[in-house]
Amino acid sequence: MTQLVNMIILDEGDNVGVALRDIAAGEQARSANGLQLPAAERIVQGHKVALRNIAEAEKIIRFGVAVGIATASIPRGHLVHIHNVKSQYLNNDEDHYE
């Protein structure tokens, strides 16, 4: 049985992938380049998943560009979002645009 891709990695230097559809907790997140990892929690379509362990204060890299800074350690397979990332440019409490 062919396993469908449900995550995209936009640049080989990225430390996050982006969910192409909702990925259930425990489901394998799969990219076109063959990377697979279990989603530790639900990853909503369009949201980021850690491709490897990300240390607190480490930059979040998507499409080869830093898009934020980890406010806590983020284990591989976990959701990467405003609860564990801060913007380098905006105040998360007042300026986020979700």
pLDDT digits (tens, 9 = 90+) for 32-90: 999 999 999 999 999 999 999 999 999 999 999 999 999 999 999 999 999 999 987 77
pLDDT at 88 (0 to 100): 78
Domain chopping of the chain, boundaries? 7-95
Helix (H, G, I), strand (E, B) or coil at 80: strand
What's the token pair of residue 20? 């192409």
Note the pLDDT tens digit of each residue in 24-43: 999 999 999 999 999 999 99
**pTM (whole model) above 0.85:** yes
What's the token pair of residue 42? 């639900």
Separation between Cα atoms, residue 88 and residue 41, nearest integer Å:
25
- CATH no. for 7-95: 2.30.130.110
Enumerate residues 6+ apart whose C-beta is below 8 A from 74: 50, 53, 54, 80, 84, 85
Amino acid identity for residue 62 in this structure: R
Output 86 or 92, whichever has higher pLDDT: 86
- Strand pairing report for 85-86 and 28-30: unpaired
Q: Note the residue count of the chain.
A: 98
Q: DSSP class of residue 94?
A: H
